[in-house]
Amino acid sequence: MNAPQSAMLLRIYTEEGRQHEGRPLHEAIVFKARDMGLAGATVLRGPMGFGQSHAIHTAKILDLSARLPLVIEIVDAEDKIRAFIAALNGMHDIGLVTTEKVEVVHYGSVSKA
């Protein structure tokens, strides 16, 4: 699959421990993106953060919880990203969702590992 030169970046800010239909929310989102044919998705785990509640979530040894921040990033054509966002409507308690226009300068090659 070739990524378009002009594209959109979707960022979904959520946290570990959130569930959707019995599986981790971030997994449900990534599998949905794959099923819808998006170019790719990456889940980034943050060692510290806070959100709307302003409660600090951290990876300190004394505070190991399932509430560490996660960011899911997906880059694809704007129409595909907007259709994906619409498909997420059934997933509750996702968190902050942002988009921005980006320019893809290199997409890499597919390795069959």
pLDDT at 1: 47
The overall average pLDDT reported for the chain is 87
> Is domain 6-103 in CATH 2.40.50.140, yes or no?
no
Prediction pTM value: 0.83
Nearest to 31 by CA among 80, 74, 78, 92: 74
- Model confidence over 73-95: pLDDT tens digits? 999 999 999 999 999 998 988 99
pLDDT at 65: 59
Domain ranges, ordered by start, for the chain: 6-103
